[in-house]
Structure 1
Amino acid sequence: MDEQHVAQLVERVVELEMRLAFQDDTLQRLNAVVTDQALRIEQLERRFELSLTDLKALRGLLYADPSQEPPPPHY
Protein backbone atom coordinates (compact mmCIF):
# COMPACT_ATOMS: atom_id res chain seq x y z
CA MET A 1 0.00 0.00 0.00
CA ASP A 2 1.25 3.42 -0.79
CA GLU A 3 1.16 6.34 1.62
CA GLN A 4 -1.77 8.02 -0.12
CA HIS A 5 -3.92 4.91 0.23
CA VAL A 6 -2.99 4.56 3.91
CA ALA A 7 -3.76 8.24 4.49
CA GLN A 8 -7.18 7.79 2.87
CA LEU A 9 -7.91 4.77 5.04
CA VAL A 10 -6.86 6.64 8.19
CA GLU A 11 -9.05 9.58 7.16
CA ARG A 12 -12.02 7.27 6.62
CA VAL A 13 -11.48 5.58 9.99
CA VAL A 14 -11.29 8.95 11.74
CA GLU A 15 -14.48 10.07 10.00
CA LEU A 16 -16.25 6.84 11.01
CA GLU A 17 -15.09 7.27 14.60
CA MET A 18 -16.44 10.83 14.64
CA ARG A 19 -19.78 9.69 13.23
CA LEU A 20 -19.95 6.90 15.77
CA ALA A 21 -19.22 9.32 18.60
CA PHE A 22 -21.92 11.69 17.33
CA GLN A 23 -24.44 8.85 17.00
CA ASP A 24 -23.57 7.58 20.46
CA ASP A 25 -24.14 11.04 21.92
CA THR A 26 -27.43 11.37 20.05
CA LEU A 27 -28.54 7.95 21.22
CA GLN A 28 -27.75 8.80 24.85
CA ARG A 29 -29.69 12.07 24.63
CA LEU A 30 -32.66 10.34 22.99
CA ASN A 31 -32.58 7.64 25.65
CA ALA A 32 -32.70 10.33 28.35
CA VAL A 33 -35.70 11.95 26.67
CA VAL A 34 -37.53 8.63 26.33
CA THR A 35 -36.81 7.76 29.96
CA ASP A 36 -38.09 11.15 31.13
CA GLN A 37 -41.21 10.77 29.01
CA ALA A 38 -41.89 7.28 30.38
CA LEU A 39 -41.67 8.60 33.95
CA ARG A 40 -43.94 11.51 33.09
CA ILE A 41 -46.48 9.19 31.48
CA GLU A 42 -46.50 7.00 34.60
CA GLN A 43 -47.13 10.08 36.77
CA LEU A 44 -49.93 11.25 34.50
CA GLU A 45 -51.52 7.79 34.49
CA ARG A 46 -51.51 7.74 38.29
CA ARG A 47 -53.05 11.21 38.43
CA PHE A 48 -55.65 10.20 35.87
CA GLU A 49 -56.62 7.10 37.87
CA LEU A 50 -56.93 9.21 41.03
CA SER A 51 -59.07 11.71 39.15
CA LEU A 52 -61.33 8.93 37.89
CA THR A 53 -61.68 7.57 41.42
CA ASP A 54 -62.57 11.03 42.71
CA LEU A 55 -65.04 11.57 39.86
CA LYS A 56 -66.77 8.27 40.58
CA ALA A 57 -67.05 9.21 44.25
CA LEU A 58 -68.52 12.60 43.34
CA ARG A 59 -71.01 11.02 40.96
CA GLY A 60 -72.08 8.74 43.76
CA LEU A 61 -72.71 11.77 45.98
CA LEU A 62 -74.39 13.90 43.31
CA TYR A 63 -76.57 11.22 41.77
CA ALA A 64 -77.76 9.24 44.76
CA ASP A 65 -80.25 6.43 44.33
CA PRO A 66 -83.68 8.12 43.92
CA SER A 67 -85.41 5.34 45.84
CA GLN A 68 -83.50 6.32 48.97
CA GLU A 69 -84.51 9.98 48.77
CA PRO A 70 -87.32 11.15 51.06
CA PRO A 71 -90.50 12.28 49.29
CA PRO A 72 -90.82 15.98 48.55
CA PRO A 73 -92.59 18.01 51.26
CA HIS A 74 -95.80 18.54 49.24
CA TYR A 75 -96.72 14.81 49.42
Structure 2
Amino acid sequence: MSTDSIAELQARLESLESKVAFQEVTIDQLNDEITNMNLQFAVVTRQVKLLAEKLKENKGSVVASMSEETPPPHY
Protein backbone atom coordinates (compact mmCIF):
# COMPACT_ATOMS: atom_id res chain seq x y z
CA MET A 1 0.00 0.00 0.00
CA SER A 2 1.22 3.44 -0.83
CA THR A 3 1.30 6.27 1.66
CA ASP A 4 -1.42 8.09 -0.31
CA SER A 5 -3.69 5.10 0.02
CA ILE A 6 -2.99 4.79 3.74
CA ALA A 7 -3.59 8.50 4.27
CA GLU A 8 -6.89 8.27 2.35
CA LEU A 9 -8.02 5.28 4.42
CA GLN A 10 -7.03 7.07 7.60
CA ALA A 11 -9.02 10.15 6.57
CA ARG A 12 -12.06 8.01 5.77
CA LEU A 13 -11.75 6.22 9.10
CA GLU A 14 -11.55 9.51 11.01
CA SER A 15 -14.59 10.78 9.11
CA LEU A 16 -16.54 7.65 10.01
CA GLU A 17 -15.48 7.88 13.65
CA SER A 18 -16.62 11.50 13.73
CA LYS A 19 -20.02 10.58 12.26
CA VAL A 20 -20.47 7.74 14.76
CA ALA A 21 -19.62 10.04 17.66
CA PHE A 22 -22.15 12.61 16.40
CA GLN A 23 -24.79 9.90 16.03
CA GLU A 24 -24.16 8.65 19.57
CA VAL A 25 -24.70 12.17 20.95
CA THR A 26 -27.86 12.56 18.89
CA ILE A 27 -29.20 9.18 20.06
CA ASP A 28 -28.53 10.11 23.69
CA GLN A 29 -30.37 13.44 23.24
CA LEU A 30 -33.31 11.71 21.59
CA ASN A 31 -33.41 9.11 24.36
CA ASP A 32 -33.51 11.87 27.00
CA GLU A 33 -36.31 13.63 25.12
CA ILE A 34 -38.35 10.44 24.81
CA THR A 35 -37.89 9.77 28.52
CA ASN A 36 -39.14 13.28 29.36
CA MET A 37 -42.09 12.89 27.02
CA ASN A 38 -43.02 9.57 28.62
CA LEU A 39 -43.01 11.22 32.05
CA GLN A 40 -45.19 14.07 30.77
CA PHE A 41 -47.52 11.56 29.13
CA ALA A 42 -47.90 9.70 32.42
CA VAL A 43 -48.81 12.95 34.19
CA VAL A 44 -51.34 13.92 31.54
CA THR A 45 -52.84 10.43 31.56
CA ARG A 46 -53.29 10.60 35.31
CA GLN A 47 -54.90 14.05 35.04
CA VAL A 48 -57.35 12.81 32.41
CA LYS A 49 -58.28 9.86 34.63
CA LEU A 50 -58.90 12.20 37.55
CA LEU A 51 -61.05 14.46 35.39
CA ALA A 52 -63.04 11.47 34.16
CA GLU A 53 -63.61 10.35 37.76
CA LYS A 54 -64.81 13.84 38.71
CA LEU A 55 -67.19 13.90 35.77
CA LYS A 56 -68.60 10.51 36.79
CA GLU A 57 -69.04 11.75 40.36
CA ASN A 58 -70.91 14.82 39.13
CA LYS A 59 -72.82 12.69 36.65
CA GLY A 60 -71.71 15.08 33.93
CA SER A 61 -73.87 17.92 35.22
CA VAL A 62 -72.35 21.39 35.36
CA VAL A 63 -75.37 22.76 37.22
CA ALA A 64 -75.26 22.60 41.00
CA SER A 65 -78.08 20.92 42.86
CA MET A 66 -80.81 23.10 44.40
CA SER A 67 -79.36 22.58 47.89
CA GLU A 68 -75.99 23.89 46.73
CA GLU A 69 -77.40 26.93 44.91
CA THR A 70 -77.32 30.22 46.77
CA PRO A 71 -80.42 32.37 46.52
CA PRO A 72 -80.25 35.37 44.21
CA PRO A 73 -79.29 38.67 45.86
CA HIS A 74 -82.81 40.15 45.62
CA TYR A 75 -84.25 37.71 48.19
TM-score (norm 1): 0.78
Aligned-pair distance for 1:60? 7.0
Higher RCO by CA contacts (8 Å cutoff, separation 6 or greater): 2
- Identity percentage over the alignment? 31
Q: Which residue of 1 aligns with 2:23?
A: 23
TM-score (norm 2): 0.78
Superposition RMSD in Å: 1.8
* More helix per residue: 1
Aligned-pair distance for 1:61? 7.3
Q: Unaligned regions of 5+ residues in structure 1, if any?
A: 63-75
Structure 1 residue ranges, 4+ long, deviating more than 3 angstroms after superposition: none
Superposition pairs for residues 3-42 of structure 1, below 5 Å? 3-42=3-42
Q: Unaligned regions of 5+ residues in structure 2, if any?
A: 63-75
One-letter amino acid matched to 2:26: T
